[in-house]
């Protein structure tokens, strides 16, 4: 396995930057939507895009566009080690930025990378590993928002992640391999608080004013229009409306054992 070396990088590249990897017109469109929200919050940040459709992109939105015409659905695993930045924030296309990044990149002063736990942790899909059965308290980490720094250890990890994933045709989700590797590895990584990869937007209804600064919203519902599931959702307001309705319906459906007690408490009428 070949790891990244200092000569592989551009000495004049910005220290910090954001990386998107998007294949196909619909995902490129989502990446544009996300990058525009990022520009509103961080006008001067460097934004790079790896795509199979490098033509006809909005002028000035992306600082660098790299063309890859034979993209795998998990092309990000190949693209992440090729970043030109010393500190990179990779984000999936189905994201929106709600606040400035602040001192997020400073996490990399102490850690090789940072990411959040995934949601739906009481689901076998999110607890799945290929080679290891880990405790419940060690679920998959969501790879859709991934902060990492340039180092031999980090780029060795990224290359190994890609190598192991692409070598196994039976694995469709990169997080399965990632979970195993984080469990095995001595890599120094940090678990970010959920506001930096807000998958469950209805947390906004539960948080008190000082609990968090919602920063990066990440939802597959931004892809609903691509999957025949209704009109396009493109704003926080529209997403909150859809998620509140979905949450109500989900709690009224078939529940796993651990959730049943919470359902009873949620549905109990207030005392009169």
pTM, two decimals, is 0.92
Q: In which residue ranges of the chain is pLDDT below 70? A: 1-9, 268-272
The whole-angstrom separation of Cα 62 and Cα 112 is: 25
Which residues make beta-bridge pairs with 87? 16, 149
pLDDT of 260 reads: 87
Yes or no: domain 6-196 corresponds to CATH 3.90.550.10: yes
pLDDT of 269 reads: 53
pLDDT of 17 reads: 99
The whole-angstrom separation of Cα 229 and Cα 222 is: 10
Which residues make beta-bridge pairs with 191? 115
Map 24-78 to HEC letters: CHHHHHHHHHHHHHHHHHCCCCEEEEEECCCCCCCCCCCCEEEECCCCCCCCHHH
pLDDT of 171 reads: 84
Per the CB < 8 A criterion, the answer to whether 80 and 52 are in contact is no
227-to-26, 47, 217, 223 alpha-carbon distances in Å = 11, 27, 20, 7
The whole-angstrom separation of Cα 83 and Cα 153 is: 15
pLDDT of 38 reads: 99
């Amino acid at each position: 396995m070949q790891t990244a070396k200092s000569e592989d990088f551009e000495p004049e590249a910005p220290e910090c930057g954001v990386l998107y990897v998007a294949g196909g017109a619909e995902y490129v469109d989502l990446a544009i939507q996300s990058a525009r929200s990022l520009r509103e919050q961080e006008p001067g940040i460097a934004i790079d895009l790896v795509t199979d459709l490098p033509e006809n992109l909005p002028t000035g939105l992306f600082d660098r566009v790299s063309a890859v015409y034979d993209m795998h659905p998990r092309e990000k695993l190949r693209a992440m080690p090729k970043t030109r930045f010393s500190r990179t924030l990779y984000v999936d296309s189905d994201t929106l930025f709600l606040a400035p990044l602040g001192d997020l990149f400073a996490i990399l002063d102490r850690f090789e990378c940072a990411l959040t736990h995934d949601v739906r942790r009481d689901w076998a899909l999110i607890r799945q590993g290929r080679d290891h059965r880990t405790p419940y308290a060690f679920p998959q980490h969501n790879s859709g928002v991934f902060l990492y720094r340039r180092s031999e250890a980090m780029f060795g990890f990224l290359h190994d992640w890609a190598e192991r994933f692409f070598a196994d045709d039976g694995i469709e989700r990169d997080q399965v391999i990632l979970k195993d590797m984080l469990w095995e590895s001595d890599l120094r990584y940090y678990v970010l608080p959920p506001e930096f990869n807000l998958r469950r937007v209805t947390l906004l209804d539960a948080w008190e004013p000082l609990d968090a600064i919602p920063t990066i919203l990440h939802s597959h519902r931004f892809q609903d229009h691509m999957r025949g599931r209704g009109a396009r959702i493109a704003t926080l307001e529209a997403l909150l409306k859809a998620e509140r309705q979905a949450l109500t319906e989900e709690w009224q459906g078939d529940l796993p054992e651990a959730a049943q007690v919470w359902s009873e408490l949620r549905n109990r009428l207030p005392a009169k």
